Structure 1
Amino acid sequence: MPRIKIDIPNHKIFETSLSVRISDINFAGHLAHDAILTLTHECRARFFYSHGWTEINVEGKGIVVSDVAIVYKSEAFFPDDLNIQLYVDQISTKSLDMLYVITHKDGKEIARAKTAIVFFDYSERKPCPIPAVFLSVIKKESKN
């Protein structure tokens, strides 16, 4: 089975800083694999919040995560300060990929992750088109 590879596009749409919490540490004393997913979720939630949205309300539509991939590059420890950059790729009518690069403040890469995001109409319980306002924002942000 080939190794997972996560290529990062050129233009980030969001960036945030987070610290490794003691609860993020595993039995080996470093950042746990499940904590990587939690960090990406926090980054995504902050991106939504920065535009006045939530993950269940972008013009009345929400999101679901349809798949996840993580590639580990190096260790992180409590209480390291991390930077998380968010990118988008593979935009279709109802879904897109959100890609994350997690680094130490000094730039050393810790991990890359990808979450496939499907927009979802929770009232109808089915996938729906990506709201135009969301597409407009990510297009604008990726040009900055």
Structure 2
Amino acid sequence: MARVQLELPEQFIYKTSMQIRYTDLNTGGHVGNDQMISLISSARYSFFQHLQVNLENIDNHRIVVTDLVTSYRAESFAEEVLHFELGFMDFNAYGGDIIFRVTKTDKTLVTLAKTGFVFINQAGKVSPIPQGFINLLPDNVKP
């Protein structure tokens, strides 16, 4: 079976780190798929907080995750520190993708991931990217 291939952004614009807890491990003794997705979600939330994005109200819109792709490359274990680098790619009229590169302190690649997102208006309909969101982005990544 072919592996998922994810392209990386020209640059990652945010980095955060998290220590793996014993409760993040599955019965195999490593971080399970469900917990890695939770860690990626936490990194995404931290990223938006860094950008000063209020996920519940961006010009009367909110962000909704549309898809998730992960490609696991190495196991991670309790007490290890994982480093999450994030960047944007593939903006369209309604949203785009956030790319994640997750590594250990020794630079071992653990996971590559992508979450797609769109903006939803107050009526619950997919809507163009609000200008208020674009204004919060660094100039080198604006759509």
Greater shift in the superposed pair: 29-38 or 134-143: 134-143
Greater shift in the superposed pair: 129-138 or 59-68: 129-138
Name 2:59's counterpart in structure 1. Answer: 59
Name 1:36's counterpart in structure 2. Answer: 36
Name 2:101's counterpart in structure 1. Answer: 101
Alignment partner of 1:46 is 2:46: yes
Counterparts of 1:140 and 1:76, CA distance in 2: 35
Name 1:135's counterpart in structure 2. Answer: 134
CA-CA distance at 1:3 after TM superposition: 2.1
| Identity in percent | 28
Amino acid at match of 1:50: H
Amino acid at match of 1:119: F
CA-CA distance at 1:97 after TM superposition: 0.7
Counterparts of 1:93 and 1:81, CA distance in 2: 36
Counterparts of 2:115 and 2:136, CA distance in 1: 19
Counterparts of 1:28 and 1:62, CA distance in 2: 37
Conserved? CA contact 1:14–1:141, under 8 Å: no
Change (3 A) 1:33 1:124: same
Which secondary structure state, in structure 1, belongs to the residue aligned with residue 71 of structure 2? strand
Which secondary structure state, in structure 1, belongs to the residue aligned with residue 137 of structure 2? helix
Cα RMSD of the aligned pairs, angstroms, is 1.7
Counterparts of 1:103 and 1:70, CA distance in 2: 14
Name 1:84's counterpart in structure 2. Answer: 84
| 5+ long unaligned stretches in structure 2 | none
- TM-score of the two chains, using structure 2 as the length reference: 0.90
Change (3 A) 1:78 1:113: same
Amino acid at match of 1:89: M
Name 1:10's counterpart in structure 2. Answer: 10
- TM-score of the two chains, using structure 1 as the length reference: 0.90
| 5+ long unaligned stretches in structure 1 | none
Change (3 A) 1:93 1:6: same
CA-CA distance at 1:137 after TM superposition: 3.4
Greater shift in the superposed pair: 66-75 or 126-135: 126-135
Amino acid at match of 2:52: G
